[in-house]
Homo-oligomer: A and B are copies of this chain.
Amino acid sequence: MPTSFLGSALRGTFFFIFGLWWSVRYPLKYLRRKTNAENQPSYGLRRVEVFEGAVKAFFALAGILVEQFVPSGPHLMLYSPKTHSWTDLTHWHYTTMYLFFLLSGIVDVVSHSPLKLPLGLDRLSLSVALFMEGLLFCFRNYGDAALDQHLHSLLAFAIFAGALCVLLEVFLRDHIILECLRTSTFLLQGSWLWQIGFVLSPPWGGPGWDQTDSSNFSFLTMCFCWHYAGALITLAANAAVSRWYVSPSKPKPLWETQRCVTSYENRASAWSRGCWKGGGRLGAQHPS
């Protein structure tokens, strides 16, 4: 099961974009919640979440179609009657992964519709999607490719850390620390998928790194840590920049900050107003 650079990079880009987006959104949400507590209904927030879900579902659906209908793909054939064996299952594996992200996206959209879906179902579906992704990477057949397996077990760390974090968010919703942790695991996953692409099938051709050299293992373990450090720094930088953009001069009276955030709110609402009309109230369940 060879890994293509392009596939790995596209998957990585998907996770990285979500991470980047969240690294702007959650710090701003936290700031807004702190400054004007409880005095403004957060309609904009809800629209943004629906938009996110729609984007997730769209990417996942596109991924499924691409995996199935690229020239080397299975074209929805699972069993090849010619060779009396399964077709190449790698594409099907990725199709299965994307299927769960598609489900997660649909649940995101539906759970903010006027249907009274229980709160937390969107987080649960994202957690399930990540667990399934981790399961599929864990049970992939790596054969003798020890470095391949090492790279993917490090990836599985990032995936399961994200999955556990999102699962916890079912019970501790809107907890800024958990949201930051989730964002950092998405950034890590995204950049690590790029790294996997570079290591196993470099875009400039060539055979990939030596699978037997033990110093490659050491280096890549370390490299994984650097990616996480980079993810944390990206998160911090984005949070700082978006904060500075909202309130450019810090030592300012409170009403100034508030007005400033409100203007941001308007800007964000204006931007997101186009994508979803019915601002349905979500029936909130109070977890004990």
Enumerate chain A interface residues (CB-CB to B < 8 A): 30-31, 34, 85-86, 89, 92-93, 96, 99-100, 103, 116, 118, 120-121, 124, 128, 132, 135-136, 139-141, 157, 170-172, 175-177, 180-181, 213-219, 221-222, 224-226, 228-229, 232, 283, 285, 287-288
Minimum Cβ distance to chain B for residue A34 (Å): 6
Given A34-B116, A225-B100, A283-B34, also A215-B86 (CB < 8 A)? yes
Indicate if the CB atoms of B99 and A229 lie closer than 8 Å: yes
Nearest chain-B residue to A181 (Cβ)? Answer: B124
Nearest chain-B residue to A176 (Cβ)? Answer: B118
Which single member of B92, B132, B177, B217 contacts A228 (CB below 8 Å)?
A: B132
Instruction: List the 3 closest pairs (A to B, CB-CB), nearest first.
Output: A139-B221, A118-B176, A89-B218
Given A120-B177, A175-B288, A177-B121, also A96-B30 (CB < 8 A)? no
Indicate if the CB atoms of B176 and A96 lie closer than 8 Å: no
Residues of B near A140 (CB, < 8 A) are: 218, 221
Residues of B near A99 (CB, < 8 A) are: 225, 229
Q: Report how far A176 CA is from B283 CA in the complex, Å.
A: 13
Given A141-B217, A285-B176, also A222-B92 (CB < 8 A)? yes
Indicate if the CB atoms of A118 and B214 lie closer than 8 Å: no
Q: Report how far A135 CA is from B188 CA in the complex, Å.
A: 15
Nearest chain-B residue to A97 (Cβ)? Answer: B225
Indicate if the CB atoms of B172 and A177 lie closer than 8 Å: no
Indicate if the CB atoms of A136 and B221 lie closer than 8 Å: yes
Nearest chain-B residue to A213 (Cβ)? Answer: B85
Indicate if the CB atoms of B177 and A229 lie closer than 8 Å: no
Q: List 10 A-B contacts (CB under 8 A).
A: A30-B285, A85-B215, A89-B222, A92-B222, A96-B222, A99-B229, A100-B229, A124-B181, A132-B225, A176-B285
Q: Report how far A176 CA is from B170 CA in the complex, Å.
A: 11
Minimum Cβ distance to chain B for residue A176 (Å): 4
Minimum Cβ distance to chain B for residue A181 (Å): 7
Q: For the A-B complex with A30-B285, A89-B222, A140-B221 known, give 7 more contacts whose Cβ atoms are closer than 8 Å.
A: A85-B213, A118-B176, A124-B177, A135-B224, A136-B221, A170-B177, A287-B288
Minimum Cβ distance to chain B for residue A187 (Å): 13
Most buried by B among A140, A170, A285: A285
Indicate if the CB atoms of A215 and B135 lie closer than 8 Å: no
Q: Report how far A157 CA is from B89 CA in the complex, Å.
A: 22
